[in-house]
Amino acid sequence: MEHARRQHALRRRVGAYEPDVVVVMLGMNDAASQMGISQETYVANMAEIVDKIRAAGATPILAASNPIRSAGEVGTRGQYTSYVQGLRAMAASEQVVFVDHFADWMTQPGAAMPTAWFGDAIHPNGLGHWHFARTLLQTLGAWDPSTGSVPSRTPRRTGSSPTRRSNSAGAPA
């Protein structure tokens, strides 16, 4: 995403809602050398987003996108893995919570790519999005493995207006 569009989107999405937490997952279109975005630029852009979220008084959470379904479909995104590695390193150095969907999808039982989670070579289907939500909630410690959902007694913030707050942690069970 070009710099001006990214800045506008950040102001519109973060500034308008005064969230406590902002989850950012900018994936393959923003981490693509064929789009003229180097790994260094991608990581620097993500670090800038983290800084702006913090400046707005919110806690940033970064997430890596899922891997590409098969080597034959990688095409011009052949360096995507290195972008994810750069994002992991930046998240660690900036002490940002990191949701590693990429690693989660690559380490499923049997070491096989979970092809049933894809709608096409890149995008997850409904089941893939369910796994995104599960991994996010597991990372945040808000997943109840006995029920496969969010605990029923999830604490709510008091004194906030629901029209001014984002629902960052909610996900379907």
What amino acid is encoded at 23 in this protein?
V
Residue linked to tokens 């660690």? 92
Name the most confidently modeled range: 7-11, 89-93, 161-165. Answer: 89-93
Q: Give me the percent of the chain exceeding a pLDDT of 70.
A: 76
- Give the phi and the psi of residue 36 in degrees, each rounded to 5: 80, 20
Higher pLDDT, 7 or 2: 7
**pLDDT tens, residue by residue, 34-89:** 677 888 988 999 999 999 999 999 999 999 999 888 766 666 677 888 899 999 99
Read off the tokens for 65: 């996108």
Predicted confidence (pLDDT) at residue 152 exceeds the cutoff of 70:
no
Q: Residue 100: how many CB atoms within 10 A of its CB?
A: 18
The per-residue pLDDT for 75 is: 65
Predicted confidence (pLDDT) at residue 90 exceeds the cutoff of 90:
yes
Instruction: Give the bridge partners for 124, in sequence order.
Output: 118
The per-residue pLDDT for 159 is: 45
Cα 145 to chain centroid distance, Å, stands at: 21
What is the C-alpha separation between 86 and 79, in angstroms, rounded?
A: 11
User: Do residues 21 and 58 make contact, with C-beta atoms less than 8 angstroms apart?
Assistant: yes
The residue-averaged pLDDT of 149-166 equals 48
